Chain A
Amino acid sequence: MEHKLTVEALKDGTVIDHIPAGQGRRIAKLLRLSESGQRVYMGFNLPSQRSGKKDLIKVENILLSAEDANQLALYAPDATVNVIENFEVVAKHKLGVPESIAGVLVCPNSNCISHVEPVTSHFSVRSRHGEIRLKCKYCEKAYAKEVFTGLS
């Protein structure tokens, strides 16, 4: 007998699929889903034909905008973002590079003022020769996305 874990279908909300396994938690944090007060379903290490394993997030009653979806591009460039209204997919966002990321990442510069003052971190995002660089609004230093280890 086949065992299947099912999650009820969304009436209104967003499904983020094809997240690289291991990145789901980071993305939920990036989008501040747990603070949203809405019901969030997360699947880790689900089977994926495309990549072997994937993470998946479903969130009720939050319809992600294209700019919201773009925030994922740094960590899950191949994710699909389907916005659902009344059980119908009403938008499929193609991911692009976001203009900025606020309040999620921790500046890698240990001397940056953002570490010691009650401020929201803020990075402008620039893509150059296919490499994404994030520049801190405060210390003005730019870093490759791989350098970011901490989430605020």
Chain B
Amino acid sequence: MANPLYQKHIISISDLSREELELVVHTAAELKRHPRNDLLKDRVVASCFFEASTRTRLSFETAVQRLGGSVIGFADAGNTSLAKKGETLADSVRIITSYVDAYVMRHPRDGAARLAAECSTKPVINAGDGANQHPTQTLLDLFTLHETQGRLDGLKVAFVGDLKYGRTVHSLVQALSLFGCRFYFIAPPALALPDYLYEELDERHIEYSDHEDIEEVVPELDILYMTRVQKERFEETEFHQVKSRFVLTADTLAHARPNLRVLHPLPRVDEIEIGVDQTPYAYYFQQAENGVYARQALLALVLNETL
């Protein structure tokens, strides 16, 4: 029987069922334990980045090559026919997808990935469309949560920092709500989680609470998910006040449970002090590495009927 992701577009995390998310997580774990260099043999994958994204692009391209496939594409749109000759994205996608077996795209416009999927006869994998979705970040986060905790069900997860604009947080909250996790939201009021997400959590009867301070919830947590508070969202003096309250130090973790792991989608600036790197709780660099395994898993499932 074909796996449920075979030849499927991966556009939005909300398109994936709990079973499909688990399939990716387990496949990623398997590929991390037992690397395979044959799953994309003789396959060509387009890696089209209409805006720069170093980590996402390099981890996708690494994933393709580790599985024995090859990559075509570009790292920024400046030199393409879209920019130079005014070609529509729809036409570009039609042509490029006729060359390849799968199409990975990052684009600055919200909804570009859905449009690409409509124009493509090959699977489209969204590597980020504007402020909208970045499903492979969520998949690597889920894989990392499972890897560090041995499960996804019923985890106690805190999100810290910019919960308003961070699409990473939004998608992960939505995905983890399928697993009955308990959430702690720690953000300045100006960067609180959007109302629609609170409404979704209420509809699903998910337990959550809002906090102003990291330290007070640390002893309860399995996962502390940090994000960057961007300077441009605040006045200068306000920013310094806000920033100091949402910075993680090694001292803040004094009463953490031994299984606690600190994650961050990176790049970090100064919201996690360097001292945290040396604690057993820091896991953000391994999380970034897991991006390759999660993307390998997704590509392998999308391009192979059975593994």
A-side residues, CB < 8 A to B, are 109, 111-114, 116-119, 128, 136-142
Could you list 14 examples of A-B contacts with CB < 8 Å?
A111-B130, A112-B109, A112-B110, A114-B111, A116-B109, A119-B118, A136-B111, A137-B114, A138-B111, A140-B12, A140-B14, A140-B114, A140-B133, A141-B132
**How far is A112 from B129 in the complex, measured between Cα atoms in Å?**
10
**How far is A117 from B115 in the complex, measured between Cα atoms in Å?**
9
A112 touches B111 (CB 8 A): yes
Give me 8 other A-B pairs in contact (C-beta within 8 A), A116-B89, A116-B109 excluded.
A111-B109, A111-B110, A113-B111, A118-B90, A119-B90, A136-B111, A140-B111, A141-B110
Highest count of chain B CB atoms <10 Å: which of A109, A111, A137: A111
- With A138-B114, A140-B12 already in contact, the answer to whether A117 and B196 are too (CB < 8 A) is no
A140 touches B109 (CB 8 A): no
Contact for B132 among A117, A118, A140, A142, CB less than 8 A:
A140
Is residue B187 within 8 Å, beta carbon to beta carbon, of the partner chain?
A: no
In the assembled complex, how far is the CB of residue A105 from the closest CB belonging to chain B, in whole angstroms?
14
A109 touches B88 (CB 8 A): no
Is residue B300 within 8 Å, beta carbon to beta carbon, of the partner chain?
A: no
Q: Which residues of A contact B88 (CB under 8 A)?
A: 117-118
In the assembled complex, how far is the CB of residue A130 from the closest CB belonging to chain B, in whole angstroms?
14
**How far is A127 from B119 in the complex, measured between Cα atoms in Å?**
30
In the assembled complex, how far is the CB of residue A106 from the closest CB belonging to chain B, in whole angstroms?
13
B196 touches A113 (CB 8 A): no
B90 touches A109 (CB 8 A): no
Q: Which residues of A contact B115 (CB under 8 A)?
A: 113-114, 117, 119, 138
Closest chain A residue, CB of each to CB of B115: A113
**How far is A111 from B196 in the complex, measured between Cα atoms in Å?**
19
**How far is A109 from B109 in the complex, measured between Cα atoms in Å?**
10
**How far is A114 from B132 in the complex, measured between Cα atoms in Å?**
13
**How far is A70 from B192 in the complex, measured between Cα atoms in Å?**
36
A113 touches B89 (CB 8 A): yes
**How far is A141 from B130 in the complex, measured between Cα atoms in Å?**
12
Closest chain A residue, CB of each to CB of B88: A117
Closest 4 CB pairs of A and B: A138-B111, A139-B110, A139-B111, A113-B111
Q: Which residues of A contact B133 (CB under 8 A)?
A: 140
Closest chain B residue, CB of each to CB of A115: B109
Interface residues of B in 115-143 (CB under 8 A from A): 115, 118, 129-133
Interface residues of B in 251-285 (CB under 8 A from A): none
In the assembled complex, how far is the CB of residue A139 from the closest CB belonging to chain B, in whole angstroms?
4
Is residue B112 within 8 Å, beta carbon to beta carbon, of the partner chain?
A: yes
Q: Which residues of A contact B112 (CB under 8 A)?
A: 113, 138
Closest chain A residue, CB of each to CB of B107: A113
